[in-house]
Structure 1
Amino acid sequence: MIILVIKKLTPRGFRGITLFPFILLTHKEDREDKVIINHEMIHIRQQLELLIIPFFLWYGIEFLFRLVQFKNRHLAYRNISFEKEAYVNEKDLYYLKQRSFWSFLKYV
């Protein structure tokens, strides 16, 4: 994992984005924020499990499905299974040590 602070590559309204092997952050101080880093590390694990490209395909398709379902971009984003897993577990700094393979499926 390589952490970079590049505000212009991070979507507006977000503090970070993960594009394996990079975690791109908006603010330099977020490098020290264990919750944000843990959230993004969960995405690193998800991307590795799905061999990266299929992760982004699934993410995009699920976002479109949720957008039709909720008719709201923010709700669609928050209900993507990958995001649900990351948000629910981001404060548990030991989560990745005990996380089972493809755990995001519990959140579909």
Structure 2
Amino acid sequence: MNAIWRSSWKSFTSSSPGLTSLNSALNHWRGIRVKVRDSNLEQALTFMQRKMQSSGIERLIKNEQLYHIKNSEKRVLARKALERKLRSKELARKLQAVLVKKVRGM
């Protein structure tokens, strides 16, 4: 049974072009792995922090609150999230207008 599992696992982890998204999903499921080279733990920790930030794990950990959030804090966070969303939409609209002008040659 283990031989079958190993062979199927090798087919999943092989570097074929169609399975790149599957490989990244499997790596995300397995977590972040960092090699410590020359017993340099500080360098490995900084590398791990960069990997966590780029993969979004840090955001997921931060979003999981283990304590109670007061309603006033929830309102403030909701208002900030709404402002970010509106700013993003406004920036996208401005960028689209600039690109349309550029394409039309105005």
TM-score, normalised with respect to structure 2: 0.26
Q: Which has the higher contact order (CA 8 A, sep 6+)?
A: 1
- Radius of gyration: which is bigger? 2
Comparing both structures, which one devotes a greater share of its residues to helix? 2
**Higher-strand-fraction structure:** 1
TM-score if structure 1 supplies the norm length?
Answer: 0.25
